[in-house]
Structure 1
Amino acid sequence: MRAAADRKAGAEPFPWETVMHVGLCLLRLPPEVFWRLTPAEFSAMAGGMRPRSPEIRRDGLEALMRRFPD
């Protein structure tokens, strides 16, 4: 009953299909290794801990538009 209530409250189901595709197909992990990973280990292997470039904010976009007005 609780799982159904969580879905109604806007909780998204865990994306097992995507996670399994990344782990087993893209990373080519053996199943026994895949199923023993912690979420943090999997995230690191899938690129979740790489540095991200800062997103452009509104003022940055406006400055670029002034500089390159094409």
Structure 2
Amino acid sequence: MSEWIEFEWSKRAIHVSAHKQSKWWYAKRFLHPDIVAPYDYIFIWDEDLGLDDFDAETMMQVIFKLNLKR
């Protein structure tokens, strides 16, 4: 997660780390509907995801193009 700081979008993201817990453990306990309601999308991914070529704007374009809206 500390390596993500080099990405421009990282400054606008909320980063959470739960030592020795899975992302789903965190999601079940802390992503209550009242908390996530203001957001259109929440991305949850593993720390080993390669982000060298990740572009959030392109990702959103694909989501809309494929009609993956909520």
Pairwise TM-score range, normalised by the shorter structure: under 0.3
Which of structures 1 and 2 has the larger relative contact order (alpha carbons within 8 angstroms, sep 6+)?
A: 2
More helix as a share of residues: 1
**Normalising by the residue count of structure 2, what TM-score does the alignment of the two structures yield?**
0.23
With the length of structure 1 as denominator, give the TM-score of the two structures: 0.23
